[in-house]
Structure 1
Amino acid sequence: MTFTVKSEIYTFGGRLLKLSHQSLITNSFMDVNVYLPSQYFNSPESLVKIPVLIYLSGLTCTPQNASEKAGLFGYADKYGLALVFPDTSPKNLPIAGSKDSWDFGESAGFYLDATKEPWSKYFQMHSYILKEIPLLAKQYPKLDFTKKSIMGHSMGGLGALLFFLRNNSESHTEFQSVSCFAPICAPMSVPWGKKAFGGYLADESEWAQYDPTQLIKKYQGINTSDILIHQGTKDGFYSGDINQLQPEKLVEAVKGTRYDGKLNMNLVEGYDHSYYFIASFAGEHVLHHAKALGLV
């Protein structure tokens, strides 16, 4: 698989690469941005393998949103880790109505593998992140996808929790750490999740495998590194008429599990759902992952 470089931007000592490629999993062209820190270019080939931090974006977003607004590059260069910003779904699909709604269809992939037609041919975002994103290492061989962590915002925060809880087991650690900004914690209980799961998944029995409050109760992975979450109290999706995020349900779900006492839930007064919020705590999150990846 070849990743085509659409542009290369120098920033904070490293380079942001805006890439695209033909995905065999989503049957579409996909965009992905990659930040290579200065260590990627300045260290001898034989001495350096760069750990990877994957950032998953939220509803309506593309790889550009976090690249331009999250304020992550300076911290990534400080600790010597790469950042990967996948897209939120396949785009420009031959599916009627795929662009009609901002919270379902294009830009709203929910990081699951769809089982209901016509979505199932394209919306295989869970498999795409797990299987095709690591192929970046073939083109950029200093990237070390055996040492990777994951973070995300809103729908992407849900995705980050899913990847960590679903893919770390008693015998294998796929992700070293996880953190989230304002994640959708209990999708089976809220309108966003019900709409997505009902639209993408063929049977309601499949829903629980994409709900962190259900997954964390059964988690048996050998990796129990702390889960870091920040949630703003003035977030309209949390404090408005409908609480789409439900962090309290995740706090309740961890009680009596292997994660009891290991959920670092921070309710921060006055912050909203925006990238101003994310940029305010970006340093704490990158440090959290840098420690888990052995860079601090």
Structure 2
Amino acid sequence: MTFETVSTAKAYGGTQGVYRHDSTATGTPMTVSVYVPPHKEGQRLPVVWYLSGLTCTHANVTDKGEYRRACAELGLIFVAPDTSPRGEGVADDPAYDMGQGAGFYVDATQAPWAPHFGMWSYVTEELPALVATHFPADMDRQSIMGHSMGGHGALTIGLTLPERFRAISAFAPIVAPSQVPWGEKALGGYLGDDRASWRRHDAVALIEDGARVPAMLVDQGDADQFLEEQLKPHLLATACEAAGIDLTLRMQPGYDHSYYFISTFMADHLAWHAERLR
């Protein structure tokens, strides 16, 4: 499988790279951002996966996430994949919340999405194998985080694979996609009308169905325009309380849904991950 370097730049003593490769999970070229902090020769470093939100590519967090200083200080590799397959012949939707830029981290089973929208397999299987091959990654020390749609992805993947991910956190995640318009449209479109099949891609439903992790960290701005209709963090809080999961839910006064919010609390999240990745 090809793995091409698009660009590299030195940052905080480490290397910020952007890479492209042909994906078997999506049947398209995919682009991924990887930051490798300064380290000793032969040293293997823990990996933090960051999943982005609707309309985003790998570039949004790379350009605006302000993670490199903390990753350099903490010794963390930071991996940020794209949010969907893209290109000619890839299905799309005129709206921003479906199709290219909105893969929702599922393996689609429905037309016209199924041929390319294999984002669950891409993020959980194909890309980890490439990271393990091409970077000084300690794959026994992984954690996952994300924003909005990517927060949904981080929660569901982390809850499904607790033996792999030592820590899970999110910024303004879609915690119960089965109960909000964004999720109902995406899960129905990608997975079909059988709502039972949606449950493995719904963090609240996964917890209700027995998924367990020791703890999670979630930051949510109380001025987020999507808070009441799409995000509903109180549903996650209720599910975690009933399941005995230690959820730290921080409602941040005055913060919205943007990368100004994410970048403000990024270092907090990375420190939280690093503590659990020792």
Query: TM > 0.5 between the two?
Result: yes
What per-residue deviation string (whole Å, max 9, x for no partner) do you get for residues 139-164 of structure 1?
Answer: 22x21222110000000000000111
When the two chains are superposed, the root-mean-square deviation of aligned CA atoms in Å is 1.3
The alpha-carbon deviation at position 256 of structure 1 amounts to 2.4
> Does 2:258 correspond to 1:235?
no
> Does 2:44 correspond to 1:49?
yes
**Equivalent of 1:273 in 249, 252, 257:** 257
> Does 2:86 correspond to 1:91?
yes
> Does 2:205 correspond to 1:214?
yes
- The worse-fitting range, judged by mean Cα deviation, of 211-220 and 246-255 is 211-220
Aligned to 2:158: 164
2:177 partner amino acid: P
The alpha-carbon deviation at position 286 of structure 1 amounts to 0.2
> Does 2:196 correspond to 1:205?
yes
What per-residue deviation string (whole Å, max 9, x for no partner) do you get for residues 84-104 of structure 1?
Answer: 0000000014145x1512100
> Does 2:165 correspond to 1:175?
yes
The alpha-carbon deviation at position 166 of structure 1 amounts to 1.1
**Which ranges in structure 1 are unaligned for 5 or more consecutive residues?**
none
Matched positions, count: 276
1:156 partner amino acid: G
Q: What SS class does the counterpart of residue 119 from structure 1 fall into?
A: coil
What per-residue deviation string (whole Å, max 9, x for no partner) do you get for residues 217-236 of structure 1?
Answer: 23355x41x20000000000
Q: Measure the CA separation in 2 of the matches of 1:212 and 1:284.
A: 22
Equivalent residues in 2 for 1:77-156, closer than 5 Å: 77-95=72-90, 98-134=92-128, 135-140=130-135, 142-156=136-150
Aligned to 2:267: 283
Q: Measure the CA separation in 1 of the matches of 2:97 and 2:46.
A: 32
Asked whether the equivalents of residues 57 and 152 of structure 1 are also in contact (C-alpha less than 8 Å), the reply is yes
The alpha-carbon deviation at position 118 of structure 1 amounts to 2.1
> Does 2:181 correspond to 1:184?
no
Q: What SS class does the counterpart of residue 166 from structure 2 fall into?
A: coil
Q: Measure the CA separation in 1 of the matches of 2:210 and 2:164.
A: 14
The alpha-carbon deviation at position 125 of structure 1 amounts to 0.6
**Equivalent of 1:69 in 43, 64, 69:** 64
Asked whether the equivalents of residues 178 and 199 of structure 2 are also in contact (C-alpha less than 8 Å), the reply is yes
> Does 2:243 correspond to 1:244?
no
Asked whether the equivalents of residues 149 and 175 of structure 1 are also in contact (C-alpha less than 8 Å), the reply is yes
Q: 1:123 to 1:93 in 2, by over 3 A?
A: farther
Q: Measure the CA separation in 2 of the matches of 1:2 and 1:68.
A: 25
The alpha-carbon deviation at position 2 of structure 1 amounts to 2.8
The alpha-carbon deviation at position 105 of structure 1 amounts to 0.3
Q: Measure the CA separation in 1 of the matches of 2:7 and 2:143.
A: 25
> Does 2:6 correspond to 1:3?
no
Q: Measure the CA separation in 2 of the matches of 1:272 and 1:231.
A: 8
Asked whether the equivalents of residues 90 and 116 of structure 2 are also in contact (C-alpha less than 8 Å), the reply is no
Q: What SS class does the counterpart of residue 9 from structure 1 fall into?
A: strand
What per-residue deviation string (whole Å, max 9, x for no partner) do you get for residues 59-95 of structure 1?
Answer: 0000000001011000000010100000000001414
**Which ranges in structure 2 are unaligned for 5 or more consecutive residues?**
none
What per-residue deviation string (whole Å, max 9, x for no partner) do you get for residues 237-266 of structure 1?
Answer: 115xxx20010111111232131xx00000
Q: Measure the CA separation in 1 of the matches of 2:223 and 2:28.
A: 37
Q: Measure the CA separation in 2 of the matches of 1:78 and 1:228.
A: 21
Q: What SS class does the counterpart of residue 195 from structure 1 fall into?
A: helix
